[in-house]
Amino acid sequence: MAQTPSPARQAFGDIAPALADYTDAVLFGDVWKRPNLSPRDRSLVTIASLISLYRHNELPFHLKRALDNGVTKDEIIETITHLAFYGGWPVANTALPIARKVFEDAGA
């Protein structure tokens, strides 16, 4: 039975296979599994970073991952609200429709 390609392999493995390998092996195979932060906490840190830095291409994937890691819809919305004060209203206003779509797609 064929193994389903990782999200990195699906997104850019055809053009940058080495980057997909590093993403799978180092980022998700090592960094995300380190013991000092739970996957849930890593998800909160990651979505806050992506929102603050306007990295919206990766945001839907990580919002879904946050939900899968136990972060609630209300916690995500509160994080976005909090970021409005530290990152600015535009980052929050830009993140909200992305979050809405992820929540709708996830049935959250």
pTM given for the model:
0.89
Q: What are 20-29's pLDDT values in tens digits?
A: 999 999 999 9
CATH architecture, domain defined by 38-106:
Up-down Bundle (1.20)
Tokens of 31: 């960094």
3-state secondary structure the chain: CCCCCCHHHHHHCCCCHHHHHHHHHHHHCCHHHCCCCCHHHHHHHHHHHHHHCCCCCCHHHHHHHHHHCCCCHHHHHHHHHHHHHHCCHHHHHHHHHHHHHHHHHHCC
The pLDDT of residue 74: 98
The pLDDT of residue 1: 63
Give domain limits for the chain. Answer: 38-106
The pLDDT of residue 56: 93
Q: What are 52-85's pLDDT values in tens digits?
A: 999 999 999 999 999 999 999 999 999 999 999 9
